[in-house]
Amino acid sequence: MSNDAPTHRNIPDRLDSPLRAAILSWPALLLVVAVIIFTVNSFASPYFLSPWSLSDATFNFTEKAIIALAMALLIISGEIDLSVAAIIALASTAMGLALQYGADTPALVAIGIGTGLLCGAFNGALVTRLGLPSIVVTIGTMSLFRGLSYIVLGDQAFKGYPASFAFFGQGYVWWVVSFEFVLFLGLAVIYYVLLHRTSFGRRVYVIGNNATAAQFSGVRVERIKFLLFCLTGLMSGIAAVLLTSRLGSTRPSIAQGWELEVITMVVLGGVSILGGSGSIAGVVIAAFIMGLVTFGMGLLNVPGIVQSIFIGLLLILVIALPIVLGRLRRLRK
């Protein structure tokens, strides 16, 4: 009963147009939120709209956002890295140590980035080789990395970074546009391409959706997860260079608590904490939202603790809103 004349049914590629999908997407909603916050800010404070103010605002989030780009991929793949802030501390300490031995600026940068990469590889090896859950591994290495930094520094600080080193965290590429900001935008484009335009990115999504099916389809799951941990470590190393350069010193408490802000950024950006979905566009807009909110509130002299309360509420609101609306819609039916 073989079918001699196969019927050629034409199954269309897509039903919804990509444009329609983009308009209804999470990043689009975030963009609306970002515009609202921008407008509110500009009415609330007369200083907000000046170019230099806006430039300062970017310093609030670029370093965290650079880590958030890699963290987004890691969370999409179903893993997480809670040690990113501790990696900054260790990488910064390594740079400070190298400074004591007379390292020049290129060497400092290489050491900072290299330390980050090594820490990421260490996390990745523990997760993929030993098969441990990443949340446990990185809670452990979070204490380990920062602990090492405390052992080296105690209550001391490394100071006296060379003047040429200051460019990374304090320099401007053109007018009010900082080096950090340009680097962030460049990396955002690279991560966008990596996640959305390459086979590697596709495999990241597949792993996050169903790691077993991915493995059964020939995806080298462990290798890709290892690379994602390395990337997150690498980005933390870059953030360590930027932050150390901006502050001009290294203390063991540097970047304390950043891991939560980075993860908040990623989740606010629409990446599912359970893995499998999310986009770089969402994470980039979420980074801007968090930067604008904290800077706007800073201008209004709102204390830091209240700012974090507001960020927390914003996160819950933005996550809950679509779920609640969806439920209402279903109830009406």
Partner 1 sequence: MTQPKLTLSGISKSFPGVRALHEVSLELYPGQVTALIGENGAGKSTLVKTLTGIYQPDAGTITLDGKPVSLSSAHKAFELGITAIHQETVLFDDLSVAENIYLGHAPRTRLATIDWPKMRSDARRLLKDMGAGHIDAEARLRDLSIANKHLVAVARAMSIDAEIVIMDEPTASLSHKEIEDLFVLVDLLKQDGKAVLFISHKFDEIYRIADRFTVFRDGEMVGKGLIRETSQSDIIKLMVGRNVDHIFPARTPSIGAPVLEVKDLSHPTEFDSIGFTLHAGEILGFYGLVGAGRSEIMQALFGLTKPSRGTIALDGKALSLGSPADAIEAGIVYVPEERGKQGVVVDLPIFQNVALPSLKKTGRNGFLRLAEEFALTRQYTERLDLRAASLSQNAGTLSGGNQQKVVIAKWLATKPRVIILDEPTKGIDIGSKAAVHAFMAELVAEGLAVIMVSSELPEVMGMSDRIVVMRAGRMVEMLDNNNLTADRVVRLAIGAEEVAA
Report if residue 20 touches partner 1, rule: CB under 8 A: no
Supply the Cα-derived Rg of the chain in whole angstroms: 22
Distance between CA atoms of 88 and 165, rounded to whole angstroms? 17
Report if residue 276 touches partner 1, rule: CB under 8 A: yes
The residue count for binding partner 1 (CB under 8 A) is 35
- Report how far apart, in Å, the C-alpha atoms of 172 and of each of 22, 61, 175, 177 are: 34, 16, 7, 6
Assess contact for 194 and 92: CB atoms under 8 A: no
Report if residue 159 touches partner 1, rule: CB under 8 A: no
Instruction: Tell the smallest beta-carbon distance from residue 236 to partner 1 (Å).
Output: 25
- Measured N-to-C along each axis, helices 84-100 and 134-153 cross at an angle, to the nearest 10 degrees, of 30
Report if residue 100 touches partner 1, rule: CB under 8 A: no
Report if residue 8 touches partner 1, rule: CB under 8 A: yes
Report if residue 124 touches partner 1, rule: CB under 8 A: no
User: Which one of 122-130, 145-153, 217-225, 283-291 is the stretch in contact with partner 1 (CB under 8 A)?
Assistant: 217-225
Burial readout 310-326 (b: 16 or more C-beta within 10 A, e: otherwise):
ebeebbeebeeeeeeee
Distance between CA atoms of 38 and 42, rounded to whole angstroms? 6
Positions 23 through 82 that interact with partner 1 (CB under 8 A):
none
Positions 165 through 204 that interact with partner 1 (CB under 8 A):
197-203
Report if residue 12 touches partner 1, rule: CB under 8 A: yes
Q: Which of 84, 103, 183, 214: binder of partner 1 (CB under 8 A)?
A: 214
**Token pair listed for 235:** 């980005």
Q: Which helix (H) or strand (E) holds 219?
A: none
Q: Which of 11, 130, 305, 328: binder of partner 1 (CB under 8 A)?
A: 11
Decide whether 237 or 270 has the Cβ nearer to partner 1.
270
Site residues (vs partner 1, CB under 8 A): 1-3, 6-9, 11-16, 197-203, 205-206, 209-210, 212-220, 276-277
